[in-house]
Amino acid sequence: MDRARTAALAGRCLLWAGLVLPGVCAGRLGLNEPRPLWQQTAGAGVLAVATVLARRCPLTAFALTAALCLADAPALFSLSYGPALAVFAVLLGLRAERTGPAAPSFAAVAAVGTVRIALGGGDPVPPWLVMTGTLLFGGVLPWLGGRYWRQSRELTAAGWLRAARLEEKQRFAEERARLRERARIAQDMHDSLGHELSLLALRASSRWRRTCPNGTGRRRPTCARRPRTPRTGCTASSACCARTPTSRSPSLRPGRPWDSSSPAPPSPGCRCAARPADGRWSRAVSPSGCCTAWPGRR
**pLDDT tier for residue 212 given thresholds of 50, 70 and 90:** low
Count the residues in the chain.
298
The pLDDT score that the predictor gives to residue 296 is 45
**pLDDT tier for residue 255 given thresholds of 50, 70 and 90:** very low
- What is the distance between the alpha carbons of residues 92 and 62, in angstroms, rounded to a whole number? 7
As a whole number, the mean pLDDT across the chain is 75
Query: pLDDT digit string (tens) for 153-197?
Result: 999 999 999 999 999 999 999 999 999 999 999 999 988 888 888
- The residue with greater pLDDT, 261 or 61, is 61
The pLDDT score that the predictor gives to residue 214 is 53
Regarding pTM above 0.95, the answer is no
Distances in Å between the alpha carbon of 285 and those of 99, 124, 247, 272, 278? 117, 148, 11, 11, 22
Residue type, position 172, single letter: F
Query: pLDDT digit string (tens) for 102-137?
Result: 888 899 998 988 888 888 777 888 888 988 999 899
What percent of the chain clears pLDDT 70, i.e. is strictly above it? 70
Distances in Å between the alpha carbon of 235 and those of 208, 211, 249, 273, 276? 23, 18, 21, 13, 22
- What is the distance between the alpha carbons of residues 38 and 56, in angstroms, rounded to a whole number? 28
What integer is the mean pLDDT of 1-12?
79
The pLDDT score that the predictor gives to residue 251 is 45
Distances in Å between the alpha carbon of 283 and those of 114, 234, 250, 271, 273? 146, 14, 10, 13, 9
Is residue 41's pLDDT more than 70?
Answer: yes
Query: pLDDT digit string (tens) for 92-105?
Result: 988 888 888 888 88
The pLDDT score that the predictor gives to residue 185 is 93
Are 239 and 265 a contacting pair, CB within 8 Å? yes
Q: For the sheet containing 291-294, what is the strand order? A: 256-257, 282-285, 291-294
The pLDDT score that the predictor gives to residue 162 is 94
Is residue 150's pLDDT more than 80?
Answer: yes
